[in-house]
Chains A and B, each alone.
Chain A
Amino acid sequence: MNTPKKWEKNWFEPLALSEKNSEVLAPQKGYWKDAWIRFKSNKGALIGLILIVLLLLIAFIGPLFNEHNYHSQNLTITNQESSGDHYLGTDSLGRDLWQRVWYGAKVSLLIAFIAAFLDVVIGVTFGGISGYFGGRVDAIMQRILEIMYSIPNLVIIILLMMYLEPGVLPIAVALSFTGWVPMARIVRAQILKLKTQEYVLAARTMGASHYRILFKHLIPNVMGPIIIAVTFSIPSAIFFEAFLSFIGLGLRPPSASLGILVSDGYRTLQLFPFQLFWPALVLCIIMLSFNLIGDGMRDALDPKMKK
């Protein structure tokens, strides 16, 4: 058996560093682009998104199609069926239903978006601080959360609505008064999971402040679950607003929201069912679309939750 040749240093030489010699990386694909590809592959979610976009377009452009507005009364043409002039007919005070439905849709969506925005701001801050600092801070903040959660939110909202002047902002505030609680829980759970990751330790060894770690490192990594929670909280805010309007705690006339229109239409249901049908249809489409989008978002942003 001959002994193998001794290894000599000059057999190898280091490769010069250049674009050509470096390892080939997979094509650059950002997080959001990747999510969008997954979202697109979900038919239901795509339909939901298209419906919402169409609905928003019509809500803004539709009112330009005839010369009426949502608040002018004309008692000579009450409760008319659809016609060339009044596309969806008129209500019991002779107001154009086409105008009122789209105005109401805009108001409902506005309330929902404001409420969802407040949910995010309060929920993410509360949940983030609670999860990040942990220990006694967390214990106290969680007890506050449990107290908030244990009071029926309908009671709080009704009390608040009686106290505040009815309007878009007060309704949104009342809705998010308890609405931020689930958001805070989601964010806290995620932060608890992420805060022991080594990249957080790395930031700490470099002297990063708590603020920087929480808002520059942790929260961006919780964006997926936050967006999912928002897409589900928007339809529930719309639903709750409609409910409040229906029981008479919503906006004051002549302002309208989908809930008010449904409530008005309900009074004349047996005689003029179309007055209930149109706002209810728009409400259903909005709710359905947001829920479909929410499902799609969950699959797209959080692939691990898939079966």
Chain B
Amino acid sequence: MTEPILKVKGLEKHFQLDRNRVLKAVDGISFEVMPGETFGLVGESGCGKSTAGRTIINLYDATNGEVLFEGKNIHKLRGKNQKKFRRDMQMIFQDPYASLNPRKTVMDIIAEGLDIHELSNGKSRQEIVCELLETVGLNKSHATRYPHEFSGGQRQRIGIARALAMEPKFIIADEPISALDVSVQAQVVNLMRKLQKEKGLTYLFIAHDLSMVKYISDRVGVMYLGKMAELADSDALYSEPLHPYTQGLLSTAPIPDPIQAKEREKIRIKGEIPSPLNPPSGCRFRTRCPHAMSVCAQVEPIWQEAKPNHWVACHLYSNSNPQ
């Protein structure tokens, strides 16, 4: 069996807002990502999935827990190892309008990593950039242009080219398509799949669009209020969701067939997502859960393997269920 390329163990990221209030954006999540696979991370806005991504790439220090990339704790890397990590793991950002520096040419944006790590300069730098532009479906004549001259989809391609410049092994895509038109979304996702095949990349794909995540991911983790609710193979999760939250999410995802869409059972998730400043006791989903029981308010459900390779944190599936 191959070793996972990324291991996240009990990762926590808390933000101290002021003396008395702590925002627990990520509160203990664990998962593993195998080399070459795409791991989808889904959840509502504010559930901590972006924070998780940023902590994994070491934009934030972890409050607790650890992130092991190729067996090394990334928050403890120094010097040469840290530089190598900065090349091996790259990120694609959500907003293609904010993620490119408006005062730099496309050439300088894509070559930024090369410049920082002094990997190449002069003519070879130019060649690498032109090659990357063509890889992502842009023209090499675009290299002298500025970001504001491009459309959203083209900008996202530039963002992908920038991430590819250092030949990374692992790419965190933080909602790379949610700011794009639907037709352009498909282009970008297909480009990412093509690149994965060609370059053997591993993706951590963060999104809230379930249909896209299903399309691109091998395995999917569902987050709710800073905790992992369910984790399974993409097919298993979509055909047989265990956690009530996942069931609710899936039943709200649109189906392109109107007859099927009418017939299917709809599970509505009531209310708003509670404030992560003051999460509910016990199971965090209980305030909105249609199956909430008395035990849910008292005991936090344990993270367990309910079926082979299908993990869930819900009292409905625990063996010590008092009912």
The judgment on whether A and B are partners is yes
Q: Is B320 interfacial (CB 8 A cutoff)?
A: no
Is there an interface contact between B146 and A203, defined as CB atoms closer than 8 Å? no
Q: Which residue of B lies closest to A27 (CB)?
A: B149
The distance from the CB of A22 to the nearest CB of chain B, in whole angstroms, is 5
Cα A160 to Cα B166 in complex, Å, equals 54
A14-37 contact mask (Cβ, 8 Å, vs B): 1 or 0: 000101001101101111000000
Chain B nearest CB from A211 CB (Å) reads: 11
A22, B139: Cβ atoms closer than 8 Å = yes
- Total residues of chain A contacting the partner, CB 8 A: 27
Q: Does A267 sit at the interface, judged by CB under 8 A? A: no
Would A25 and B150 be within 8 Å (CB), given that A221-B102, A221-B103 are in contact?
yes
A-contact 0/1 string along B90-112, CB 8 Å cutoff: 11011100111111100000001
Contacts A19-B139, A25-B145, A30-B146 given; does A205 touch B117 at CB 8 Å: no
Contact with B along A179-213 (1 / 0, CB 8 A): 00000000000000000011101111111110010
Q: What's the Cα separation between A143 and B182 when bound, in Å?
A: 50
| Identity of the chain A residue whose Cβ is nearest the Cβ of B100 in the assembled complex | A199
Given the known A-B contacts A198-B93, A207-B82, are A17 and B137 also in contact in the complex, defined by CB atoms under 8 Å? Answer: yes
> In this complex, what residue of A is CB-closest to B140?
A19
Q: Is A253's beta carbon under 8 Å from chain B?
A: no
Residues of A83-128 at the interface with B, using a CB-CB cut-off of 8 Å, are: none
> Is the CB–CB distance between B149 and A206 below 8 Å?
no
A212 pairs with B54, CB closer than 8 A: no
CB-CB < 8 A to B82: which residues of A?
A: 207
Q: How far is the CA of A205 from the CA of B144 in the complex (A)?
A: 24
CB within 8 Å of B: which residues of A? 17, 19, 22-23, 25-26, 28-31, 197-199, 201-209, 212, 217, 220-221, 223
- Please, could you name 6 A-B residue pairs with CB atoms under 8 Å apart, sorted by A? A25-B149, A197-B98, A206-B90, A206-B117, A207-B116, A208-B112
Supply 19 further A-B pairs (C-beta < 8 A) apart from A28-B149, A212-B116, A220-B101: A17-B137, A17-B139, A22-B139, A23-B151, A28-B144, A28-B145, A31-B102, A199-B100, A201-B59, A201-B91, A201-B93, A202-B99, A202-B112, A203-B101, A205-B89, A205-B91, A206-B113, A207-B87, A207-B116
* B interface, CB within 8 angstroms of A: 54, 57-59, 82-83, 86-87, 89-91, 93-95, 98-104, 112-113, 116-117, 134, 137-139, 141-142, 144-146, 149-151, 154, 159, 162, 166
